[in-house]
Amino acid sequence: MSGQKQYPKTYRFRPNPTGKPYQPDPANKERDLETARRIQRRLLFPKFGFLTGFLPLLIAMVYEKLTGGPVSEGFIIFGFCYVFTVWPLSIGLTLLFGSCPYCHKTQGLNGRVYTLTGREISTSRGVSPFITKCIRCGAPLSVKEVEAAYRRLEKQEKAT
């Protein structure tokens, strides 16, 4: 023994607890649709926050162009308070509510890990409340994605 502590091998993205990727089952289509609707409802406030985060800045720019006068100091303070309150709250709620109901893992930064000749190259798409699929188990988390998964299953069953 070299004296160094041996750590167990860890993986950045572990599969779901059963170790199997998500498989659509025709008997569970309604349950999967309801689960997708529930996930998207939980992500409604983070989506609103991401879409309206810089709205005060846009309003201030349009106001200055249309009137030619400066924006009031109170509106500028409101804009800063809005941006620095809504954005961090949206990011936190996305991380909190964006967990997959199938594998019970959070989506994190929606990152991917690519390996090239034994070296890891990691990339990140950042935090996004617009989640359609779980990055770990591949389960559909939006209604459109659930319907597409079941369409692919039907097409696959017809082909066989």
Give the range of the structural domain holding residue 127, as residue numbers without chain letter: 27-159
15 within a domain of the structure (yes/no): no
pLDDT for position 148: 92
1-46 pLDDT per residue, tens: 556 655 455 444 444 455 567 788 888 889 889 999 999 999 999 9
> What is the secondary structure of 51-63 as a DSSP string?
HHTTHHHHHHHHH
What's residue 155's pLDDT? 92
Whole-number percent of the chain with pLDDT over 70: 76
Which residues of the chain form beta strands (DSSP E)? 112-116, 119-123
Whether residue 103 lies inside any domain: the answer is yes
Handedness of CA 114, 92, 59, 41 (dihedral sign): positive
The Cβ-side half-sphere exposure at 152, using a 13 Å CA radius, reads: 9
Sole residue written with tokens 């030619």: 68
pLDDT tens digit string along 73-125?
888 899 889 989 998 999 899 888 888 888 887 876 665 555 555 566 666 66
How many folded domains does the chain comprise?
1
Residue 137 has pLDDT above 90, yes or no: no
